[in-house]
């Protein structure tokens, strides 16, 4: 079953002279965790908006090609219906939290669906539990840390029971350690809930071992779509000014110099162990 398909999709914002996306095609299967990355302005957020129907329903423009989200056409499906299939977590959680308590924020979406009271309560309890923030339920968003706010934002999306979670640079406002914890948490969540995830991020080092596939974009087009190792060891990355994950770059270099032959390690702890064994072998 496909969660999302883009088929030769192009889009030009009204009033703009150039296409923000040009002939974009890709698929997300159910249960997949995909990283979408590329330089600023390459069209990543535009993909999110188009997937969820905000383009063209809130952002008009020249629209070509076809998108399907769980079989629905986001061009014409009510946004409220799409929101029950797919949810978007933004860069800045402050844009997503607007009531005076965590609990009220999470209840907001289900209340708008007109669900019966008992089901709203059940969904809020469930979302708090899944995201492991039950202890924060009566806090006000301004009392929370950046990482906690981002979890509340996720809980409020999960309360809509989506099958696809789209995250648009969710760790931009987090320090490196909080970002690392947050991305690992998302990976666990994906297994726990069996949902698909489309993650837009620049923190490639952390995500390399967690994702199934990487899509690399530049100037409104998809340049690469493959496994993390295929994409991260491609010379295309540097050509568009993106640094590959540091541990992968080190092993590519060691392999060029004849010190290593094999596939570069995807995760940092494993890379450290490998480096140690190489040092022992070469002293
Ligand atoms: N609301 C808008 N109106 C006009 N142009 C836009 C709008 N939003 C984004 N763009 C343009 O579309 C292109 C892609 O932007 P965006 O999808 O935000 O890129 P990214 O998320 O990869 O940084 C950029 O050239 C940007 O200037
Ligand atoms: Mg963006």
Q: From the CA of 42, give the closest atom in ligand 1.
A: 22
Annotated domain spans of the chain = 1-85+162-237, 96-161, 245-283
Which string of DSSP letters, residue by residue, matches 44-91?
Answer: HHHHHHHHTTHHHHTS-EEEEEEEEETTB-TTTS-HHHHTTTEEEE-S
What pLDDT, on the 0 to 100 scale, is given for residue 124? 97
Summarize pLDDT for 190-207 with one digit per residue, the tens: 999 989 999 999 999 999
Q: From the CA of 48, give the closest atom in ligand 1.
A: 17
Mean pLDDT across 12-20: 97
pLDDT mean across residues, the chain: 94
Summarize pLDDT for 219-240 with one digit per residue, the tens: 999 999 999 999 999 999 999 9
282 pLDDT above the threshold of 80: no
Give the chain's length.
283
283 pLDDT above the threshold of 80: no
Mean pLDDT across 79-88: 94
What pLDDT, on the 0 to 100 scale, is given for residue 1? 83
Mean pLDDT across 76-87: 95
- Measured distance CA(150)–CA(170) in Å, rounded: 7
- Measured distance CA(238)–CA(112) in Å, rounded: 46
Which residue, judged by its Cα, is nearest atom 7 of ligand 1? Answer: 13
What pLDDT, on the 0 to 100 scale, is given for residue 173? 85
Structure tokens, 5: 């398909």
What pLDDT, on the 0 to 100 scale, is given for residue 168? 95
More confident residue, 141 or 12: 12
Which residue, judged by its Cα, is nearest atom 12 of ligand 1? Answer: 20
Ligand nearest 62 Cα, by number? 1
Confidence of residue 86 (pLDDT cuts 50, 70, 90): very high
- What top-level class would CATH report for the domain 1-85+162-237? alpha beta
Q: From the CA of 217, give the closest atom in ligand 1.
A: 22
Mean pLDDT across 259-270: 90
């Amino acid at each position: 079953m496909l969660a999302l398909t883009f088929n030769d999709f192009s889009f030009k914002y009204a009033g703009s002279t150039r296409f923000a996306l040009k002939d974009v095609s890709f698929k997300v299967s159910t249960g997949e965790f995909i990283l979408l990355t590329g330089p600023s302005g390459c069209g990543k957020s535009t993909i999110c908006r188009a997937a969820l129907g905000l383009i063209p329903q809130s952002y008009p423009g020249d629209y070509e090609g076809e998108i399907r989200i769980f079989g629905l056409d986001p061009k014409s499906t009510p946004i409220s219906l799409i929101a029950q299939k797919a949810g978007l977590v933004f860069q800045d959680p402050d844009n997503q939290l607007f009531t005076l308590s965590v609990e009220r924020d999470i209840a907001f979406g289900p209340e708008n669906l007109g669900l019966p009271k008992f089901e709203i309560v059940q969904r809020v309890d469930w979302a708090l539990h899944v995201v492991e923030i039950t202890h924060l339920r009566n806090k006000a968003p301004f009392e929370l840390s950046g990482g906690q706010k981002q979890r509340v934002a996720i809980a409020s999306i999960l309360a809509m029971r989506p099958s696809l979670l789209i995250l648009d640079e969710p760790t931009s406002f987090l320090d490196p350690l909080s970002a690392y914890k947050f991305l690992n948490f998302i990976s666990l969540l994906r297994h726990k809930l069996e949902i698909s995830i489309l993650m837009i991020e620049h923190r490639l080092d952390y995500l390399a071992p967690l994702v199934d596939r990487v899509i690399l974009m530049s100037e409104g087009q998809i340049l690469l779509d493959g496994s993390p190792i295929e994409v991260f060891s491609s010379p295309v990355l540097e050509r568009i000014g993106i640094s590959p994950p540091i541990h992968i770059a080190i092993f590519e270099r060691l392999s060029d110099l004849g010190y290593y032959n094999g596939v570069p390690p995807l995760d940092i702890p494993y890379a450290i162990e490998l480096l140690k064994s190489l040092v022992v072998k070469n002293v």
